[in-house]
Amino acid sequence: MFQEEVLYSVALRATPHIGDVNFMKLIEAAGSAKEAWLLSKKLLKEIPGFGSRIIKDIGNEEFLKFAENELNFCEKNNIKILLRHHNQLPKLLSQCDDAPAILYQKGEYDENLIPVSIVGTRNMTPYGKAFIEELMTLLKDKNLLIVSGLALGTDGCAHTEALKNNISTVGVLAHGLHLLYPSQHKKLAKEMLERGGAILSEFTSNEKPDREHFLQRNRIVAGFSGLTIVVETAFGGGSMSTVSYANSYNREVYALPGKISDPYSQGCNLIISQNKARIISKYQDILDELGLNKEKTNIPSLFEPEMITLNQEAQPIYDCIAKNKQISLDDLSEKLEIPPFKLLPILLDLELKSYIKAHSGKQYSIA
């Protein structure tokens, strides 16, 4: 019976104009994918929001035949088909309103591990690489699962360094599981599968790595985890969409700051300044967020320690935050009679130096 539901689910989702949201509406109205597939056009039109254009191909045997071929492909290649309406998606991902109706999975991973998503530019610099290498050594033996997109650059480095430290890792693809893009990562993907990891995709075996698929894929990377770490990204980098998804899901985002002159740090600096991500001033920030390694000794810092010596402009701001323990940008502006736009660059500078911490809702406290 379940295999039959899988068949009709794949057929229904493959139908034009039936995206993830409409798919779930049909399931809610009909009770199952099979029942939705067999509904008459008259009854389908009675579902709010479903007109002739949307329902046109529901019940078309062409898509049922496609689904049969897809199931055969998955069976031959040891690919599991996970259905959202049967509560088979990864736990956190299933909580997202726009989660995929169907997810294809090759390989197995321990669902009890804590997922952490790591994203960033394909043009990773030595700075970003060194950060990932050090972070992975600290995350070793912490029962974590590293999630990324198996792309070149940051993604590949995150997967590779995870494996070096015996950390399971999952790759989310922007195409069907009939191929592996980029081809340079075929060996890496194979090792991930052999060592307690998996490869996931919402795309069927006839779908190629089109540009829009990568942006669509990013919501799964963001939704999979409670924490997303942005290593390096330019202003318009694809990682910015992952941040937007994570923010919309109320998930924590941390970003690695860098020099304002470095193009692949500019996106990170921007989302930090906009309170879309918390700043990573030391590796302990990540461990604290995950509730790991409460001992704060012997954890390396990203920056050299220095004495707190503030200029006349920054000192009253720091003192006001210290006095109030935690204060919003608006309240800080009112107390000091300084416009917010003048406060923000000083606050960012204090945050980069690890003197203060930024919280959601533009709240600040002493670090």
Three-state DSSP string of 97-132:
CCCCCEEEEEECCCCCCEEEEEECCCCCCHHHHHHH
DSSP state of 85: G
- How do residues 166-200 score in pLDDT, each as one tens digit? 999 999 999 999 999 999 999 999 999 999 999 99
Nearest one of 360, 87, 70, 94 to 219, comparing CA atoms: 94
Residue 83 lies in a domain: no
**Confidence band of 352 (pLDDT split at 50, 70, 90):** confident
The pTM (predicted TM-score) of the whole model is: 0.81
State which amino acid sits at residue 336.
Answer: L
Residue 82 lies in a domain: no
Confidence at residue 306, expressed as pLDDT on a 0 to 100 scale = 46
- The answer to whether residues 282 and 328 belong to one domain is no
Confidence at residue 299, expressed as pLDDT on a 0 to 100 scale = 58
- The answer to whether residues 180 and 262 belong to one domain is yes
Residue 266 lies in a domain: yes
- The answer to whether residues 277 and 324 belong to one domain is no
Confidence at residue 297, expressed as pLDDT on a 0 to 100 scale = 45
Structural domains in the chain (count): 3
User: Look-up: residue for tokens 């191929």?
Assistant: 179
pLDDT at 359 over 90: no
Among 254, 289, 324, which residue terminates a domain? 289
Higher-confidence residue: 288 or 113?
Answer: 113
**Confidence band of 347 (pLDDT split at 50, 70, 90):** confident
Cα 55 from Cα 76, distance rounded (Å): 32
Residue 129 lies in a domain: yes
pLDDT at 298 over 70: no
- The answer to whether residues 124 and 193 belong to one domain is yes
Residue 309 lies in a domain: no
Confidence at residue 302, expressed as pLDDT on a 0 to 100 scale = 62
Confidence at residue 46, expressed as pLDDT on a 0 to 100 scale = 94
Among 52, 75, 98, which residue terminates a domain? 75
Q: E strand or H helix at 142, and its extent?
A: none
pLDDT at 344 over 90: no
Confidence at residue 237, expressed as pLDDT on a 0 to 100 scale = 85
Q: Average per-residue pLDDT in the chain? A: 92
88-99 mean pLDDT: 96
- The answer to whether residues 285 and 319 belong to one domain is no
Residue 301 lies in a domain: no
Residue 303 lies in a domain: no
Confidence at residue 77, expressed as pLDDT on a 0 to 100 scale = 97
pLDDT at 318 over 80: yes
Cα 168 from Cα 81, distance rounded (Å): 21
> Percentage of the chain with pLDDT > 90?
75
- The answer to whether residues 217 and 346 belong to one domain is no
Q: Is 51 helix (H, G, I), strand (E, B) or coil?
A: coil
- The answer to whether residues 220 and 342 belong to one domain is no
Cα 162 from Cα 168, distance rounded (Å): 7
303-314 mean pLDDT: 66
- How do residues 122-135 score in pLDDT, each as one tens digit? 999 999 999 999 99
Confidence at residue 303, expressed as pLDDT on a 0 to 100 scale = 55
Would you call the peptide bond into 305 cis, given omega within 30 degrees of 0 as the criterion?
Answer: no
- The answer to whether residues 64 and 155 belong to one domain is no
Which of 12-16, 280-284, 306-310 is predicted most confidently?
A: 12-16
- How do residues 266-283 score in pLDDT, each as one tens digit? 999 999 999 999 999 899
16-22 mean pLDDT: 95
Domain span at 46: 2-75
Confidence at residue 350, expressed as pLDDT on a 0 to 100 scale = 84
State which amino acid sits at residue 50.
Answer: F
- The answer to whether residues 281 and 331 belong to one domain is no
Ramachandran angles phi, psi of 357, nearest 5°: -120, 140
Q: CATH number of the domain at 26, please.
A: 1.10.150
Residues 6+ apart with CB under 8 A from 212: none
Q: CATH number of the domain at 177, please.
A: 3.40.50.450
Confidence at residue 305, expressed as pLDDT on a 0 to 100 scale = 44
Strand-strand pairing, 102-107 and 114-119: unpaired
Residue 99 lies in a domain: no
- The answer to whether residues 141 and 212 belong to one domain is yes
Q: CB-based burial of residue 197 (10 Å sphere; 0-12 exposed, 13-18 middle, 19+ buried)?
A: buried
- The answer to whether residues 144 and 280 belong to one domain is yes
Measured from the Cβ of residue 340, the count of other Cβ atoms closer than 10 Å reads 13
pLDDT at 215 over 80: yes
pLDDT at 203 over 70: yes
**Confidence band of 307 (pLDDT split at 50, 70, 90):** very low
Measured from the Cβ of residue 63, the count of other Cβ atoms closer than 10 Å reads 21
- Alpha helices by DSSP H, listed for 263-328, are 263-273, 284-289, 315-324
- The answer to whether residues 187 and 257 belong to one domain is yes
Measured from the Cβ of residue 61, the count of other Cβ atoms closer than 10 Å reads 8
